[in-house]
Amino acid sequence: MTVTAEKLTETPTQTPLVTMRLWRGDATGGCFVDYEVEASEGEVVLDVVHRVQATQAPDLAVRWNCKAGKCGSCSAEVNGRPRLMCMTRMSTLPPGEAVTIAPMKTFPILKDLVSDVSFNYVVARQIPPLAPRPREADGTHRIAQVDIDRVQEFHKCIECFLCQDVCHVIRDHEGNKAHFAGPRFFVRAAALEMHPLDTLDRRPLLRHHLGLAYCNITKCCTEVCPVGIKITDNSIIPLKERVVDGYFDPIAWLGRKIRRKPARTPVTEPLAPQATAGANGPRPGRRSPGEA
């Protein structure tokens, strides 16, 4: 492509101003603050937030790392929808309106747009990792490609926790965090349960401790997943069906008895203690503090 001299000497057009309405505050309180800032063509929300930080609000707290939708750090709520700021183009937002950015609602706030997501790490530690069957005679584990293809989808997860944020089971009911793992960890459990080498049966854990039955499959987690994992269809519903196999289906029970298949080792207790409600935390079933 050739660039003419006229193009090179062309006066740049005026960069349009946008209003960024950012949540400013911490655990003691906060409010939205409007910032008028330039936004160039092709920019994403995170670019413009950084411009606010560079030009008008140097103390603005925003978590980010890769700016490429791979690290899952810049999760926030853009115009009320959980999204990665680095993957949300400004051109996709309604023109002429303020862009509202709030921290993830489901987790406690640290400062401004940064949330404390450590709840997820507690849940992660409760799920037993892969327990592979013994190696073959030549010391290897052989897996056919068709056996591993299905769980590869689940390994795409970048742990942005947007699915956890949008899940109403914990978003609107803080008390459920004590007995509900959330979509991200159902994806994790599905990856382990469907793994061809695994020898554990996590269904008792899913039913009694991780709260699989609390999910009412409204598919919001699938809608917000930035890497396109079909969380509900490919992990949660198959897990629910596996729980039905184990607990609610007499024909499946009879089949197991007749065939006498070697059972996998059931996991009945989580590995690490579950999170507990703090002294000032709400009772189970009560609405969260950030709710109308």
Partner 1 sequence: MSTLEQRAPAVAPSPIPVHLGGVRGGPKAATLRRDRWWVAPVLTVSALLAFVGYSTWAAFQNRDYYVGAAMHRDYLSPFYSPCITANCQVKFGPVIGSWWQISPAILILIFPLGFRLTCYYYRRSYYRSFLWAPPACAVADARPRYSGESRFPLIFQNVHRYFFYFGVIFNVILTYDAVEAFRFPGDGGIGVGVGTLIFVVNAVLLWLYSLSCHSCRHLCGGQVNSFSSHPIRYAVWKRLTPLNRRHMLFAWMSLFWVAFTDVYVRLVASGAIHDPKLF
Q: How far is the CB of 217 from partner 1 (least distance, A)?
A: 5
Shorter beta-carbon distance to partner 1: residue 94 or 95: 94
Cβ nearer to partner 1, comparing 7 with 257: 257
Alpha-carbon distance 165 to 223, whole Å? Answer: 12
Is residue 193 within the footprint of partner 1 (CB under 8 A)? yes
Q: How far is CA 70 from CA 28, 87, 263, 285, in A?
A: 32, 10, 38, 35
Instruction: Kindly report the backbone phi and psi dihedral angles of residue 31, in degrees, each rounded to the nearest multiple of 5, phi listed first.
Output: -160, 165
CA 87 to chain centre: 15
Which position among 16, 147, 155, 266 is part of the footprint of partner 1 (CB under 8 A)?
147
Q: How far is CA 7 from CA 2, 3, 15, 233, in A?
A: 10, 6, 17, 51
- CA pair distance 97, 20, nearest whole angstrom: 9
State the nearest-atom distance from the C-beta of 119 to partner 1, in Å.
6
| Binding residues for partner 1 restricted to 199-258, rule: CB under 8 A | 211, 213-220, 223-224, 230, 233, 237-238, 240-245, 247-249
Which residues from 55-74 bind partner 1, rule CB under 8 A?
Answer: none
**Helix H or strand E segment including 289:** none
State in angstroms the smallest separation of the CB of 223 from partner 1: 6
CA dist., res. 61 & res. 174, Å (int) = 24
Structure tokens belonging to residue 278: 């703090």
Nearest-approach distance from CB 281 to partner 1, in angstroms: 2
Q: Which 35-54 residues touch partner 1, going by CB under 8 A?
A: none
Could you tell me the smallest distance in angstroms from the CB atom of residue 265 to partner 1? 14
The stretch among 1-9, 43-51, 66-74, 139-147 that binds partner 1 (CB under 8 A) is 139-147
Which range binds partner 1 by CB under 8 A, 52-60, 64-72, 152-160, 269-277? Answer: 269-277
- Cα torsion through 282, 283, 285, 288, rounded to 10: 0
DSSP bridge partners of 266: 201
Question: Using CB under 8 A, which of 1, 68, 144, 263 touches partner 1?
Answer: 144
CB of 158 to partner 1, least distance (A): 19
Q: Which stretch binds partner 1 (CB under 8 A): 9-17, 27-35, 40-48, 152-160?
A: 27-35
Tell me which of 17, 89, 135, 269 binds partner 1, using CB under 8 A. 135
Closest approach, Cβ 243 to partner 1, in A, equals 8
Q: Under DSSP, is residue 76 helix (H, G, I), strand (E, B) or coil?
A: strand
| DSSP state for residue 232 in the 8-state scheme | I
How far CA 37 is from CA of 52, 74, 79, 80, 99, in Å, comes to 7, 20, 17, 20, 11
Q: Is 106 in the site for partner 1 (CB under 8 A)?
A: yes
Nearest distance from residue 89's CB to partner 1, in Å? 16
Q: What are phi and psi of 78, to 5 degrees?
A: -100, 120
- Is the Cβ of residue 48 or residue 194 nearer to partner 1 in the bound state? 194
| Residue 221: closest CA among 180, 193, 192, 272 | 180
Residue 187 near partner 1 by CB under 8 A: no
